[in-house]
Amino acid sequence: MTDASAAPAATSPLITADGKPLKAALGRAQRRARRRALFLVLPLLLFILVSFVLPIGQLLERSMHNDFFSANMPRTVEWFKTHRPGTAPDEAAYAAVALDLQDAAKARTAALAGTRVNYDLPGTRSLFTSTARKARDMQPPYKEALIAADPQWGDPMLWATMRRVSPAYSDDFYLAALDRTRDVHGDIVPMPKDQRIYVMLFERTFLLAAGITFLCFLMGYPVAHLLAVLPLRKSNLLMILVLLPFWTSLLVRTTAWIVLLQREGVVNDILVWLGLIDNNHRLAMIYNQTGTIVAMTHILLPFMILPLYSVMRPIPPTYVRAARSLGATSWTAFRRIYFPQTLPGIGAGSLLVFILAVGYYITPALVGGASGQLISNLIAFHLQNSLNWSLGAALAALLLAAVLVLYWLYDRLVGIDNLKLG
């Protein structure tokens, strides 16, 4: 009787003090905890969404979208949709262009349509604006009227370009960013040699960034090691000198290098005074790649020292002493004991310096000259001067993709878990 009465009690659900099932109470408590955690991180999620995700999404959308032509030349776009590529323009095509130009002249949007075509075929913006002023008085046949207004309207390349830019979304800007274009038949071909600048700038950007990263490593490693082995009071005092550039304006630091490196600057004066160079053969160290490398290495050096210092400081000095007591030379102890333990700091500093270097803008613009400009300077030019926002967005998207590929390679080769910034 005792065993039979105890069995139902053992299998009955557990309840809380207020008589509710324990399982349901735990579920409600977990849901409240998750909601509380969500509310705590919600401001950060909104900040990332507004300041990071949405701008990148707009950047990618802008790199593919440009409706200057499609929105202002609807009849011409419709003719392209109903006729296969390679079809010679007939009277209906010329009539569509003439009527669209008449409407564009009234709305004063002919320059927008011409600007979109001008991106792919230079010189056509003025063609659209001048023809739009004459289109009000045009009468059929429109083919003769347009060609009489400007013989370029009979050029097959113009019509092929208008067909290519007629969609609002296209990959033309990515092709242009890779020094590629499409011919009359729509095939992807390289641009003329005198117009291939973007791939060269990408190569220069990554090569200079790699060189700056290597120089920062060569100069930052011994400095970080010195800071790590000194007593804490002395290392903190010297750390102020490392952090001092952060308290100075970037513009001030860059212009200071202009004063130091110019032909009549301090460095050249010292070299002439020491007799190392002749006064008539002063070194050109500014407004070229040399100026870019020197100034950016100085500016980015703390970003290499700090990760290295954070990794070197916790390394016990007894490891190296133990290796030397067992017969290892100083070089062997450094190479096999000390250096491998600093690899996480080297990887973190190198990745940080390289990514910052490929996207730097102010310093190359001020001290780089023509040969020291990076791809970021051309992106700024298209966004601020030429107003070709789509091409600038395409260049920025390719630069972002290259950085993500670099990050992926670092994760595969080194492991992102080994990344240490402090």
Most confident of 180-194, 210-224, 230-244, 365-379: 210-224
Instruction: Tally the C-alpha atoms within 13 A of residue 68's C-alpha that lie toward its C-beta.
Output: 24
The pLDDT, as a whole number, for residue 17 is: 67
**CB–CB of 354/213 below 8 Å?**
yes
The pLDDT, as a whole number, for residue 242 is: 87
How much is the average pLDDT of 6-18?
61
Burial class (CB in 10 A: 0-12, 13-18, 19+), 31: exposed
Q: What confidence category does residue 418 fall into, taking pLDDT thresholds of 50, 70 and 90?
A: low
How much is the average pLDDT of 79-91?
91
The pLDDT, as a whole number, for residue 293 is: 93
List pLDDT tens digits, range 327-378. 888 899 888 989 999 988 898 899 899 999 998 888 888 888 878 888 999 9
Q: Where are the domains of the chain?
A: 2-64, 68-170, 198-418
Token readout for 382 is 């298209």
How much is the average pLDDT of 72-87?
92
How much is the average pLDDT of 252-273?
89
Which DSSP string do the residues of 117-183 spell out, in sequence order?
Answer: HHHHSTTHHHHHHHHHHHHTT--S-HHHHHHHH-GGGG-HHHHHHHHHH-SSB-SHHHHHHTTEEE-
pLDDT at residue 405 is higher than 70: yes
Where helices occur in 313-388 by DSSP H, the ranges are 318-325, 330-333, 339-341, 343-358, 362-367, 375-384
Token readout for 126 is 């003025």
pLDDT at residue 382 is higher than 80: yes
List pLDDT tens digits, range 125-145. 999 999 999 988 888 899 999
- % of the chain at pLDDT higher than 90: 42
Q: Dihedral sign for Cα 69, 75, 81, 84, please.
A: negative
91 vs 97: CA distance, rounded Å? 10
Does 2 or 401 have the greater pLDDT score?
401
pLDDT at residue 167 is higher than 60: yes
- Taking residue 13's Cβ as centre, other Cβ atoms within 10 Å add up to 8
Q: What confidence category does residue 185 fall into, taking pLDDT thresholds of 50, 70 and 90?
A: confident
374 vs 389: CA distance, rounded Å? 18
pLDDT at residue 2 is higher than 50: no
The CATH homologous superfamily of the domain defined by 198-418: MetI-like (1.10.3720.10)
- Report in angstroms the alpha-carbon separations of 298 from 100, 211, 262: 56, 13, 17
366-387 CB burial, b ≥16 within 10 A, e <16: bbbbeebbbbbbbbebbbeeee
List pLDDT tens digits, range 298-329. 999 999 999 999 999 988 888 888 988 888 88
**CB–CB of 100/135 below 8 Å?**
no
List pLDDT tens digits, range 89-127. 999 999 999 999 999 999 999 999 999 999 888 889 999
The pLDDT, as a whole number, for residue 12 is: 66
The pLDDT, as a whole number, for residue 1 is: 45
Q: Dihedral sign for Cα 73, 77, 80, 82, please.
A: negative
SS3 331: helix
Q: What is the mean pLDDT of the chain?
A: 87
pLDDT at residue 186 is higher than 60: yes
Q: What confidence category does residue 420 fall into, taking pLDDT thresholds of 50, 70 and 90?
A: low
The pLDDT, as a whole number, for residue 317 is: 86
**Nearest one of 205, 198, 216 to 351, comparing CA atoms:** 216
Q: What confidence category does residue 16 fall into, taking pLDDT thresholds of 50, 70 and 90?
A: low
pLDDT at residue 11 is higher than 90: no
